[in-house]
Amino acid sequence: MMALEALRIFVADTFRLIASRPDAFTTVSGRGLGSDRADREHEATVKQAIDLASPGNASTVSSLIRRLFPARERHLGGSHYGADWLETWRRQRRVAHPEVLGTYLRRRLPPGAIAAARMDAIVQALEDDERLDRILRDLDDDQLEQALSRLEGYEEDFPGTRPEVTIGVLSRHGRRLTRHPRSMFELGPRVQLSRIVYRLLRNLEPGIVARTVEATDFQDFSSRYDVVRMVGHREGAGHKLVDEATAERLEGQLIDDLLRAAAEELSREPDLGALIWLLRRERPTDAPAAVQDWAATDAFFVALLRAHLLISLGATVGSVAVRRTLQLKWPDLASLLGQHYLATRLSQVNPGWVAETYDDDTLEAWRQARRYAQDPDAAERDLRHWPDGGADED
């Protein structure tokens, strides 16, 4: 702050340029589409900021810019800094982070932003069940997402003595998070939550990781499966934090408990599709009967439709609007439960109840299901136009 105030007082033109183009001073290497062109523009802006100072001050201004905004060092003969530095700068409350610089320039936090003191309180409460739960309950859903995105930058402060407490509380509040990203270039909030859990576990001994997973009071099967898959050996999903035998045992215990669960309980699972996929892969002889038994409950049946809904985000070049496209994987449902059974259940569920109870995405899954029940070939035609043909994903 003292350095920025010095710029504001003694080289006002330079300060005004920084204030008008903060992105030119805080954008790190390789950020998104058109980054090469933007980088050239940022370099020109930095050089202009130095040229605006008097010849006697140019060297000092250059040094201050390098000190305040390390992302610009590469244009001044220094190092390159990538996106992995952003959380460190935000945690250190440096104006090198765009949000911190924005707070300085506005002289106030943006609406809904989380103060650094609140983040410090979250970190200090990580292994205190009641205290952490209370702090997270006081955050609205958007603030909860902010907190998770910032928590990665505090990894070196994670206590590590009772991670099962932290994971249990986070899974409790994970139900408040949407599964899908809001734009094409961001992680979904639930992915962000998984990244936090991974950082809580990755430096522990394998035996401690296994005990932690077994001791965690998970809010739902979806959160438990996410962690079991994370610590295991599945290609593309597991980080091998436990040995293979332990990974198989943890997965087997999860499946056994899942098969004993009630339909109403499963209907509230945020990642029901992944759980059904797990059953079909590991217990192919048990899965159809179990799912059919659960599907006799209306809430589970509708949730099952929603779980088979593909969601794609796209945008037209030159437009900031994000387009969402929805497609039901009807052939997967038909292979699991049969065309006749699906058509029968669709005729039995009260459509008025569905319309009053569920969100727009679920209603779209319902509408497409009713259409495909009458015309199964339409589902095959529609899926052929979908990326990868609507292939199954874990």
Rounded mean pLDDT of 230-247? 93
Residue 270 is assigned to a structural domain of this protein: no
Looking at residue 364, its pLDDT comes to 96
Looking at residue 37, its pLDDT comes to 81
Q: What count of Cα atoms within 13 Å lies in the side-chain half-sphere of residue 81? A: 21
Chain position carrying tokens 């509408």: 367
User: pLDDT higher for 168 or 322?
Assistant: 168
353 and 295 share one domain: yes
122 and 74 share one domain: no
Confidence tier at 361 by pLDDT (50, 70, 90): very high
Distance separating alpha carbons of residues 388 and 121, to the nearest angstrom: 45
**Chain mean pLDDT for the chain:** 87
Would you say how long the chain is, in residues?
A: 394
Distance separating alpha carbons of residues 194 and 257, to the nearest angstrom: 22
Distance separating alpha carbons of residues 239 and 204, to the nearest angstrom: 13
- Specify whether the CB–CB gap between 95 and 19 falls below 8 A: no
Residue 277 is assigned to a structural domain of this protein: no
Residue 45 is assigned to a structural domain of this protein: yes
122 and 252 share one domain: yes
User: pLDDT higher for 294 or 386?
Assistant: 294
Rounded mean pLDDT of 363-371? 96
Final residue of a structural domain among 106, 130, 152: 106
**8 phi and psi, to 5 degrees?**
-65, -35
User: pLDDT higher for 299 or 191?
Assistant: 299
- Specify whether the CB–CB gap between 337 and 295 falls below 8 A: yes
pLDDT tens, residue by residue, 81-137: 888 888 888 888 889 998 888 888 877 666 667 888 888 899 999 999 999 999 999
Residue 275 is assigned to a structural domain of this protein: no
141: containing domain:
115-260
Q: Is residue 290's pLDDT more than 90? A: yes
98 and 126 share one domain: no
Q: Which residues pair with 16 in a beta bridge?
A: none
User: pLDDT higher for 210 or 390?
Assistant: 210
Q: Is residue 12's pLDDT more than 50? A: yes
Other beta carbons within 10 angstroms of residue 213's beta carbon come to 26
Distance separating alpha carbons of residues 363 and 156, to the nearest angstrom: 44
Looking at residue 281, its pLDDT comes to 94
304 and 185 share one domain: no
Confidence tier at 299 by pLDDT (50, 70, 90): very high
Final residue of a structural domain among 58, 80, 106: 106
Distance separating alpha carbons of residues 253 and 195, to the nearest angstrom: 23
Other beta carbons within 10 angstroms of residue 26's beta carbon come to 25
Distance separating alpha carbons of residues 24 and 38, to the nearest angstrom: 8
Residue 281 is assigned to a structural domain of this protein: no
- Specify whether the CB–CB gap between 322 and 183 falls below 8 A: yes
Q: How far is CA 86 from CA 103, 109, 151, 190, in A?
A: 15, 18, 12, 20
165 and 218 share one domain: yes
Distance separating alpha carbons of residues 294 and 259, to the nearest angstrom: 10
Q: Is 316 helix (H, G, I), strand (E, B) or coil?
A: coil
127 and 239 share one domain: yes
DSSP element (H, E) containing 202: none
Q: Is residue 215's pLDDT more than 60? A: yes
Q: How buried is residue 50: exposed, middle or buried, by Cβ count under 10 Å (0-12/13-18/19+)?
A: buried
127 and 251 share one domain: yes
121 and 227 share one domain: yes
Other beta carbons within 10 angstroms of residue 112's beta carbon come to 10
User: pLDDT higher for 182 or 259?
Assistant: 259
- Number of domains the chain is built from: 3
Looking at residue 107, its pLDDT comes to 75
Distance separating alpha carbons of residues 338 and 97, to the nearest angstrom: 54
Chain position carrying tokens 């008097």: 54
Residue 282 is assigned to a structural domain of this protein: no
124 and 252 share one domain: yes
Question: Looking at 158-172, 315-329, 373-387, which range is the least confident one?
Answer: 315-329
Rounded mean pLDDT of 331-353? 95
Looking at residue 315, its pLDDT comes to 60
Looking at residue 149, its pLDDT comes to 82
Q: In the structure encoding, which two tokens stand for residue 52, read together?
A: 């605006």
Residue 266 is assigned to a structural domain of this protein: no
Q: How far is CA 273 from CA 62, 222, 358, in A?
A: 54, 10, 17
> What pTM was estimated for this model as a whole?
0.73
Looking at residue 6, its pLDDT comes to 87
Residue 66 is assigned to a structural domain of this protein: yes
- Specify whether the CB–CB gap between 160 and 204 falls below 8 A: yes
